[in-house]
Amino acid sequence: MFLFVLSKLIAKIFSIGRSIDSYLTLIARGENPGAKFFQLLAEALSKDARHYDDNLYRAIEHVAQGT
């Protein structure tokens, strides 16, 4: 039972990670949020909450390009 609850919790944490990274990509494409704001929001999420960093890297590319 404990492992079931733990696996559900981990799945929710990864879901939140995907949502935050998607939001970062979205705001990076629209208005340039500023490097400090972007950094704070990206660092607010634990590294353990991401399967991989592809979406985060994509968002960083948009901020760096200013698009």
pLDDT in tens, 3-61: 778 788 888 888 888 888 888 888 877 766 677 887 888 788 777 777 666 777 777 77
Identify the domain containing residue 52 by its residue range: 2-65
Task: Please list, residue by residue across 29-49, b when 16 or more beta carbons sit within 10 angstroms of its beta carbon and e when fewer do.
Answer: eeeebeeeebeebbeebeeeb
Q: Please give the model's pTM, rounded to 2 decimal places.
A: 0.65
How many domains is the chain built from? 1
Element holding 12 (H helix, E strand):
helix 2-29
| pLDDT at residue 49 in the model | 74
Task: Please name which of 16, 13, 21 lies closest in space to residue 38, comparing C-alpha atoms.
Answer: 21
